[in-house]
Structure 1
Amino acid sequence: MEHVLSVRPRPLRLPLGRHKKCVALHTDTYLKLRAFAQQHELSWSGAIHELLRTNPAIGLPSLLQARKAAATQTFGTDS
């Protein structure tokens, strides 16, 4: 006889967009991440995303540089 649970387990976090992750950080990592996010005016998610993308093991282009380049082009063409 198969036993079926009537209650689904509660997720750690509600989904944000299509993805959800819950991480624990050491204090030194937390402080560096917070400083990076503030320096570049990013959300926590944006800072983590940027740092993961630009990690040499992943090798994706920087979205932060693309955003800055787009802003420069926009301001440069308003003559």
Structure 2
Amino acid sequence: MEETREFRGISKRLAANYLENLGGERIDEAGDRIEGDGWTAELTERTVNPVPGTSLSLNEVRVEFSGEAESLRPLIDRFAQKAMRAGG
């Protein structure tokens, strides 16, 4: 199974920390690849402009999850809860 998700308002470093807290281990020094029991996550980071024509910019982390469905689905759900940012 493979699934890609984007999360705004968090850094790649923080996303990697969340994945480590969920049982993963950094495979490279940059923290771009995290592996856990039955899953792998590849992280990339970019700056996006959510409102064209303004100077507003946000950090966006793209996480490409892959692995066994029974391991991956709960991981993605728990990660999404940690990475959720409330407006206000």
* Range into which the TM-score falls when normalised by the shorter chain: under 0.3
Higher strand content, 1 or 2: 2
TM-score, with length taken from structure 1: 0.25
TM-score, with length taken from structure 2: 0.23
Higher helix content, 1 or 2: 1
Bigger Cα Rg: 1
